Structure 1
């Protein structure tokens, strides 16, 4: 009976550790409202397009 109780305790401890590890590494969902685009024509063309569409040009 002693060995069986020890096995159950080890199994419970292992499952508890696995559960803790899985909960600690959950990725948090993040949303970033930014995007990048390559505009042929250089910075002047990019600035003109951003201004026309009401976007903020953050640079390169």
Structure 2
């Protein structure tokens, strides 16, 4: 697989993960959030496990 495709797939997966967390913060279940962003439920539970079982707080842009 070419390096460009690997990078593109990582970007797409990160975008889906970000959208997954938005949906969970809105009150959607993890399974429903996975379905809405087009990933398998196992992937959603991997994201939850990687976050320590908590919903991560979105990063706030700092004023510089």
Q: What TM-score results when the alignment is normalised by the length of structure 1?
A: 0.41
Q: Which has the higher helix share?
A: 2
Higher RCO (Cα < 8 Å, 6 or more apart): 2
Look at both structures and tell me which one has the larger radius of gyration over its CA atoms.
1
